[in-house]
Protein backbone atom coordinates (compact mmCIF):
# COMPACT_ATOMS: atom_id res chain seq x y z
CA UNK A 1 0.00 0.00 0.00
CA UNK A 2 2.82 2.41 0.85
CA UNK A 3 4.40 1.77 -2.57
CA UNK A 4 1.13 2.68 -4.29
CA UNK A 5 0.90 5.96 -2.38
CA UNK A 6 4.52 6.83 -3.17
CA UNK A 7 3.98 5.97 -6.85
CA UNK A 8 0.83 8.11 -7.08
CA UNK A 9 2.49 11.03 -5.32
CA UNK A 10 5.55 10.80 -7.61
CA UNK A 11 3.35 10.55 -10.70
CA UNK A 12 1.38 13.64 -9.70
CA UNK A 13 4.60 15.57 -9.02
CA UNK A 14 6.26 14.69 -12.33
CA UNK A 15 3.14 15.24 -14.41
CA UNK A 16 2.61 18.72 -12.97
CA UNK A 17 6.30 19.60 -13.00
CA UNK A 18 6.58 18.78 -16.68
CA UNK A 19 3.31 20.36 -17.76
CA UNK A 20 3.62 22.78 -20.66
CA UNK A 21 2.41 26.32 -20.19
CA UNK A 22 1.52 28.12 -23.40
CA UNK A 23 -1.64 30.13 -22.66
CA UNK A 24 -3.16 32.08 -19.80
CA UNK A 25 -5.72 29.27 -19.49
CA UNK A 26 -2.82 26.85 -18.81
CA UNK A 27 -1.36 29.21 -16.19
CA UNK A 28 -4.73 29.56 -14.42
CA UNK A 29 -5.44 25.82 -14.60
CA UNK A 30 -2.19 25.15 -12.75
CA UNK A 31 -2.92 27.73 -10.03
CA UNK A 32 -1.18 30.83 -11.41
CA UNK A 33 -1.91 34.07 -9.56
CA UNK A 34 -1.98 37.53 -11.16
CA UNK A 35 0.34 40.14 -9.68
CA UNK A 36 -1.20 43.53 -8.98
CA UNK A 37 0.43 46.90 -9.68
CA UNK A 38 1.92 47.25 -6.18
CA UNK A 39 3.41 43.73 -6.26
CA UNK A 40 5.02 44.54 -9.62
CA UNK A 41 6.31 47.89 -8.33
CA UNK A 42 7.93 46.06 -5.40
CA UNK A 43 9.41 43.33 -7.60
CA UNK A 44 10.72 45.23 -10.64
CA UNK A 45 13.34 47.74 -9.37
CA UNK A 46 16.79 46.08 -9.28
CA UNK A 47 15.36 42.81 -10.65
CA UNK A 48 17.48 40.63 -12.90
CA UNK A 49 15.15 39.60 -15.70
CA UNK A 50 15.19 36.60 -18.01
CA UNK A 51 12.52 36.75 -20.69
CA UNK A 52 11.77 33.74 -22.88
CA UNK A 53 9.63 34.27 -25.96
CA UNK A 54 7.34 31.76 -27.62
CA UNK A 55 9.64 32.00 -30.66
CA UNK A 56 12.57 30.60 -28.67
CA UNK A 57 14.55 33.76 -27.97
CA UNK A 58 15.96 34.52 -24.52
CA UNK A 59 16.61 38.09 -23.39
CA UNK A 60 18.44 39.23 -20.23
CA UNK A 61 18.52 42.55 -18.42
CA UNK A 62 18.76 44.25 -15.01
CA UNK A 63 16.02 46.77 -14.15
CA UNK A 64 17.52 50.00 -12.88
CA UNK A 65 15.36 51.98 -10.42
CA UNK A 66 15.11 54.86 -12.92
CA UNK A 67 13.17 52.66 -15.39
CA UNK A 68 16.06 51.84 -17.73
CA UNK A 69 18.13 48.74 -18.49
CA UNK A 70 20.75 47.32 -20.86
CA UNK A 71 19.47 44.15 -22.53
CA UNK A 72 21.09 41.33 -24.46
CA UNK A 73 19.36 38.71 -26.60
CA UNK A 74 20.48 35.42 -28.08
CA UNK A 75 18.24 36.22 -31.07
CA UNK A 76 16.91 32.69 -31.47
CA UNK A 77 13.55 32.61 -33.17
CA UNK A 78 14.32 35.81 -35.06
CA UNK A 79 16.31 34.26 -37.90
CA UNK A 80 14.68 30.91 -38.61
CA UNK A 81 16.56 28.95 -35.96
CA UNK A 82 19.92 30.70 -36.14
CA UNK A 83 21.19 33.17 -33.62
CA UNK A 84 21.46 36.91 -34.02
CA UNK A 85 22.95 38.21 -30.77
CA UNK A 86 22.03 41.79 -30.01
CA UNK A 87 22.14 44.33 -27.23
CA UNK A 88 20.12 47.48 -26.69
CA UNK A 89 19.18 50.05 -24.08
CA UNK A 90 15.56 49.68 -22.97
CA UNK A 91 12.96 51.03 -20.58
CA UNK A 92 10.48 49.44 -18.19
CA UNK A 93 7.48 50.75 -16.23
CA UNK A 94 4.48 49.42 -14.29
CA UNK A 95 1.03 50.77 -15.14
CA UNK A 96 -1.74 51.49 -12.64
CA UNK A 97 -3.65 48.59 -14.26
CA UNK A 98 -0.90 46.19 -13.17
CA UNK A 99 0.98 45.67 -16.41
CA UNK A 100 4.74 45.55 -16.91
CA UNK A 101 5.58 47.59 -20.00
CA UNK A 102 8.91 47.19 -21.80
CA UNK A 103 10.44 48.93 -24.78
CA UNK A 104 13.65 47.62 -26.39
CA UNK A 105 14.82 49.04 -29.74
CA UNK A 106 16.49 45.85 -31.02
CA UNK A 107 18.21 46.33 -34.40
CA UNK A 108 16.02 43.79 -36.24
CA UNK A 109 12.69 43.61 -34.41
CA UNK A 110 12.00 46.16 -31.65
CA UNK A 111 10.03 45.09 -28.56
CA UNK A 112 7.32 47.44 -27.33
CA UNK A 113 4.78 45.63 -25.16
CA UNK A 114 2.82 45.55 -21.92
CA UNK A 115 2.08 42.28 -20.09
CA UNK A 116 -0.04 41.22 -17.16
CA UNK A 117 2.16 39.04 -14.95
CA UNK A 118 1.16 35.79 -13.26
CA UNK A 119 3.23 33.84 -10.71
CA UNK A 120 3.23 30.05 -10.92
CA UNK A 121 5.55 27.78 -8.93
CA UNK A 122 8.47 30.20 -8.75
CA UNK A 123 8.19 31.32 -12.38
CA UNK A 124 6.32 34.19 -13.94
CA UNK A 125 4.25 34.31 -17.10
CA UNK A 126 3.34 37.43 -19.03
CA UNK A 127 0.24 37.79 -21.19
CA UNK A 128 -0.92 40.64 -23.41
CA UNK A 129 -4.63 40.21 -22.62
CA UNK A 130 -6.64 38.53 -19.89
CA UNK A 131 -8.24 36.12 -22.37
CA UNK A 132 -7.60 32.45 -21.53
CA UNK A 133 -6.34 31.99 -25.11
CA UNK A 134 -3.68 34.70 -24.70
CA UNK A 135 -0.15 33.38 -25.31
CA UNK A 136 1.93 33.16 -22.11
CA UNK A 137 5.65 33.96 -22.22
CA UNK A 138 7.95 32.84 -19.41
CA UNK A 139 9.90 35.29 -17.24
CA UNK A 140 12.26 35.03 -14.29
CA UNK A 141 12.69 37.90 -11.83
CA UNK A 142 15.47 37.67 -9.24
CA UNK A 143 17.03 40.21 -6.94
- At 80-106, the pLDDT tens digits run 445 678 999 999 999 999 999 999 998
CATH number at residue 65: 2.40.128
- Distance, in Å, from the CA atom of 107 to the CA atom of 109, rounded to the nearest integer, reads 6
The residue among 95, 96, 89 whose CA lies nearest residue 62 is: 89
The verdict on residue 114 lying in a domain is yes
The verdict on residue 20 lying in a domain is no
The pLDDT value recorded for residue 133 is 97
The verdict on residue 14 lying in a domain is no
Burial 59-69 (b: 16+ CB within 10 A, else e): bbbebeeeeeb
Prediction pTM value: 0.80
The pLDDT value recorded for residue 78 is 57
The verdict on residue 33 lying in a domain is no
Check pLDDT > 50 for residue 48.
yes
The verdict on residue 72 lying in a domain is yes
- At 125-139, the pLDDT tens digits run 999 999 999 999 999
Check pLDDT > 90 for residue 2.
no
Structural domains counted in the chain? 1
The verdict on residue 11 lying in a domain is no
Amino acid sequence: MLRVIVFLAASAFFSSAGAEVSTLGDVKAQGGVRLNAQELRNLMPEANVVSRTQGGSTRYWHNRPDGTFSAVSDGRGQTGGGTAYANAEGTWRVTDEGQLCVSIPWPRAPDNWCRYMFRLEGKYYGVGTLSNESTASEFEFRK
